[in-house]
């Protein structure tokens, strides 16, 4: 029996070997426990990426709204890029659409805090709760 890379010693070699085993139909030789763990982690990673991009988008929209005199191409591109990243994630994993509002609710406090720091404006100027809905922030036509 051939020895396969150890999960704890070389994750990439382990993943490559297990993918080959799966393609060859040698399911009984797959490291099922670690494979299941990696698949779960992949889902978590996608959720974290989605929430991170929603946080970044919310922060840039707050800056856009509360500092209209400083609007420029750089801010516009930051908003557009965040929207595209979110759309790509949702196209690849449509099931994540169900958590977008939760992400916005969860990440808004950090987006608000970051906007306060970046703008230098008083915290009380920014709403405590998200002033936008996900459907708005993802719309190319939404510029508060």
Q: Where are the domains of the chain?
A: 45-137
Q: Are 78 and 60 spatial neighbours (Cβ–Cβ below 8 Å)?
A: yes
Residue pointed to by tokens 């709204």: 65
The SS3 assignment for 1 reads coil
User: Residue 32's closest CA among 60, 4, 66, 72?
Assistant: 4
How many C-alpha atoms does 21 have within 13 Å on its Cβ side?
19
* Cα end-to-end span (Å), the chain: 63
Where residue 3 falls among pLDDT bands split at 50, 70, 90? low
Q: Are 53 and 137 spatial neighbours (Cβ–Cβ below 8 Å)?
A: no
Buried b / exposed e over 93-112, threshold 16 CB at 10 Å, is eeebeeebeebbeebbeebb
Q: What is the pLDDT of residues 8-62, one digit of tens each?
A: 888 888 889 988 998 999 999 888 898 888 888 888 889 999 999 999 999 999 9
Does 1 have pLDDT greater than 60? Answer: no
User: Quick one: how far is CA 33 from the chain centroid?
Assistant: 26
Q: What is the pLDDT of residues 93-113, one digit of tens each?
A: 999 999 999 999 999 999 999
């Amino acid at each position: 029996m051939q020895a396969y890379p150890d999960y704890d010693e070389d994750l990439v070699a382990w993943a490559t070997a297990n993918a080959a085993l799966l393609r060859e139909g040698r399911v009984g030789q797959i490291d099922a426990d670690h494979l299941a763990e990696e698949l779960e982690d992949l889902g978590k990673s996608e959720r974290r990426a989605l929430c991170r991009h929603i946080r970044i988008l919310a922060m840039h929209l707050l800056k856009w709204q509360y500092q209209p005199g400083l609007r420029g191409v750089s801010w516009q591109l930051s908003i557009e890029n965040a929207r595209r990243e979110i759309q790509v994630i949702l196209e690849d994993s449509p099931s994540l659409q169900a958590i977008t509002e939760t992400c916005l609710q969860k990440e808004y406090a950090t987006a608000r805090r970051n906007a306060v720091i970046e703008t230098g404006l008083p915290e009380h100027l920014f709403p405590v709760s998200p002033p936008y809905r996900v459907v708005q922030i993802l719309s190319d036509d939404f510029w508060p």
